Amino acid sequence: MSKRDQGLASVVLGGLVVSGALCVAAMLSADLLYATRLIGAAGFVLGATVVLLLIVVAHRQQRLTETLRLQLSAFSKAESRHDYGRKVQLDQLQQMLGRLRFLTEGISGNQRPIDTRLTLPFDKESLLPRVLFVTSNGAGMGHLTRCLAVARSGRKYFQAQFVSLSSSAEIVRLFGFEVLKFRSQAATGQAAAAWNDSFAVFFDDICRINRPTAIVFDGTWIYRGVHESAKRHGASLIWLRRGLWMEGADVTQLETAHMLADHVLVPRDVGDSADEGPTSRLRDTLVPAPTLIEPSESFARDAALTELGLDTARAYVLVQLGAGAINDVSDARERAISRILSLSPTTDVVVGLSPLSKHYVDDRPRVHVVRQYPIAKYLSAFDFMVIAAGYNSIHESVRFKAPAVVVPNLQTSTDNQALRASEYERLGYGISANTLEELDKAIATFGDAEVRLRFRDALLSAALPLDSGEGAATKINEWITCN
């Protein structure tokens, strides 16, 4: 009760007491006239008290009515919000049911007709297990190249074919493998959920038709369609995952890898000793860093130049930059070309591109464009290189003793190329350039033959375990034959 209500109650109570007292006094008085006056006064006080009481009751009723109105209004709003929430939940449920219907219609065992276009050329008569290599859509050709190395080395252990999201996927056919392509989410512009549903149906059909013994996935995120299809069709799932992840990268699947994949293979990295990122804290199976070819498959200097159609009397520097290095690849490439051409009138530039790349043209007389893959076969042709700090480029440099200016892509979401490049420089293999100004200075430094010789000597003593995929292929064979 408020103080105001307490005051009004006291006034009413006082009025009742006064009127009562007047009535008692009138009954006790012997003077009839005086008693009549007392009774009249008591009636007046009583009447006033009753009027005041009615006013108090009316006010209380008004306040109660307003309180009830406000409570009803609040309840109505709450109910509206609740109804809206239920409507949103219903919409979400309908969307989920739509996706579930899509998947059950798309992934339906033997009920769907077989699409023969998804049949890969596994040898039906062979007793070797079937391994399906699946690569994501990275910034370059790293995932494909790494898997190609393992697939080539594993030919004595298993049959291998490919599924890839890479725009350069056809490159595997140069090595005798077939590939089924699927457009990446970025290429399609689809929402993540819709793309994952479509890929899940596509990949499930591939597994249903080709019956792989094992699936080797190379990428930073195992797609739902891959790990679900592996379980559905009884295939071992092996995650071939490089290390050197950035701090701040999405580590969800690193923490749950044992729930998604049967095994995790991690190729060694020149930056391992300096790695303090999320992958450094894991205890996965390590294998040597693979390069696509053996040193025995590479050409000597003059033979390499002849194969490339270049004059053996001149000196050459290779420029091969991947996606998104310093600001824009074209900026770094042009700066490198201009600086190299200024070193000596007898030094030419060779721009290395993918065989599938048709866009870049350079008509300058001392600039030559080659589209050879893998370029590692020809590295002896060059005095030095200007290359991206991606996994494969760096490790080809180390294995084939080809010193380089390395340009890290600073825009990657997981691959810590800046760390790899700085560690490459710290070990004395070459120079890291993070800016165009640093690129200028590094190329000028490489113009000194004695400096190049020091870098090459350091590469000759490199202790990093390297192979052509034999370590990974052997481990895959161990795992699938033990199952």
The per-residue pLDDT for range 157-216, each reduced to its tens digit, is 999 999 999 988 999 999 999 999 999 998 999 999 999 999 999 999 999 999 999 999
Range 302-325 average pLDDT: 89
Residue 275 has pLDDT above 70, yes or no: yes
Which whole-number Å values give the CA distances from 272 to 242, 379, 406, in the listed order?
A: 10, 24, 17
Tokens 């074919």 correspond to what residue? Answer: 161
Please state the separation of Cα 159 from the chain's center in Å.
Answer: 30
Q: Given this model, what pLDDT does residue 119 score? A: 96
Q: Given this model, what pLDDT does residue 35 score? A: 61
In terms of C-beta density within 10 A (0-12 exposed, 13-18 middle, 19 or more buried), how is residue 54 classed? Answer: exposed
Residue 318 has pLDDT above 80, yes or no: yes
For the CA atoms of 445, 450, 453, 457, what is the dihedral angle to 10 degrees?
-100
State the Cα–Cα distance between residues 85 and 79, nearest whole angstrom.
Answer: 10
The per-residue pLDDT for range 115-170, each reduced to its tens digit, is 889 999 999 999 999 999 999 986 568 899 999 999 999 999 999 999 999 988 99
Higher-pLDDT residue of 265 and 98 is 265
Q: Given this model, what pLDDT does residue 76 score? A: 55
Q: Given this model, what pLDDT does residue 357 score? A: 72
Q: Given this model, what pLDDT does residue 105 score? A: 46
How is domain 121-292+469-482 classified at the CATH fold level?
Answer: Rossmann fold (3.40.50)
Residue 43 has pLDDT above 90, yes or no: no
Which whole-number Å values give the CA distances from 350 to 127, 360, 378, in the listed order?
A: 45, 13, 11
Residue 42 has pLDDT above 90, yes or no: no
Contacts of 372 (CB under 8 A, 6+ apart): 308, 352, 355, 378
Range 334-361 average pLDDT: 90
Domain ranges for the chain? 3-86, 121-292+469-482, 296-465
Range 93-120 average pLDDT: 64
Of the candidate ranges 47-56, 76-85, 231-240, the one whose mean pLDDT is the lowest: 76-85
Query: Residue 324 — very low, low, confident or very high, per pLDDT cuts 50/70/90?
Result: very low
Does the global pTM surpass 0.85? no
Single-letter amino acid code for the residue at 73: S
Residue 95 has pLDDT above 70, yes or no: no
Q: Can you state the angle between helices 436-446 and 449-460, rounded to 10 degrees? A: 90
Range 36-62 average pLDDT: 68
Q: Given this model, what pLDDT does residue 265 score? A: 97
Residue 477 has pLDDT above 50, yes or no: yes
**Average pLDDT along the chain:** 86
The per-residue pLDDT for range 382-416, each reduced to its tens digit, is 999 999 999 999 999 999 999 999 999 988 889 99
Q: Given this model, what pLDDT does residue 18 score? A: 64
Query: Residue 58 — very low, low, confident or very high, per pLDDT cuts 50/70/90?
Result: low
The superfamily in CATH containing domain 296-465 is Glycogen Phosphorylase B; (3.40.50.2000)
Q: Given this model, what pLDDT does residue 116 score? A: 85
Evaluate whether 121-292+469-482 and 296-465 have a shared fold. Answer: yes
